[in-house]
Amino acid sequence: MRDNMITIGSNIGIGLLSLLFNYQTLIAGILAVLAAIWTVRQMRASEKSADARHDQLVGLMLKRDQLIVDRAANPLLERLNLTLPKLLKTKEGFSESQDPTAYLRSNMEAIAQIGVESQLISNPFLADARPLFDGQLVHMLETISGRGASIGFQLYDLRKLAENAESAGQQVPDVAYEQCAIEVRSAINHLPSEVMEFIERLSLLRSEYSAK
Shared domain check, 84 and 43: no
The total of structural domains in the chain comes to: 2
If you ran DSSP here, which 8-state letter would residue 153 be given? H
Q: How far is the C-alpha of 142 from the C-alpha of 139, rounded, in Å?
A: 5
Shared domain check, 83 and 36: no
Shared domain check, 157 and 104: yes
What is the pTM (predicted TM-score) of this model?
A: 0.71
Q: How far is the C-alpha of 46 from the C-alpha of 69, rounded, in Å?
A: 34
Shared domain check, 79 and 42: no
Shared domain check, 79 and 27: no
Amino acid identity of 75? P
pLDDT at 169: 87
Write out the residue range of the structural domain in which residue 52 sits. Answer: 2-57
Query: Does 66 fall in a domain?
Result: no
CB 197, CB 140: distance < 8 Å: yes
The CB density around residue 46, as the number of other CB atoms within 10 Å, is: 10
Shared domain check, 193 and 89: yes
Shared domain check, 83 and 25: no
| pLDDT in 10s for each residue of the chain, 212 residues | 544 444 444 555 565 566 556 666 766 777 777 777 878 787 786 777 666 676 667 666 788 999 999 999 998 999 999 999 999 999 999 999 889 999 999 999 999 998 888 887 778 888 899 999 999 999 999 999 999 999 999 999 999 988 888 888 888 888 999 999 999 999 999 999 999 999 999 999 999 988 87
- From residue 4, alpha-carbon distances to 8, 9, 12, 56, 134 in Å are 6, 9, 12, 69, 90
Amino acid identity of 154? Q
CATH of the domain at 142: 1.20.120
Shared domain check, 173 and 82: yes
Query: Does 69 fall in a domain?
Result: no
Shared domain check, 96 and 44: no
- Sign of the four-CA dihedral 77, 81, 185, 106: negative
Shared domain check, 140 and 93: yes
Q: How far is the C-alpha of 62 from the C-alpha of 94, rounded, in Å?
A: 45
Residues near 111 by beta carbon (within 8 Å), at least 6 away in sequence: 90, 104, 151, 155, 184, 188
Shared domain check, 132 and 93: yes
Shared domain check, 145 and 183: yes
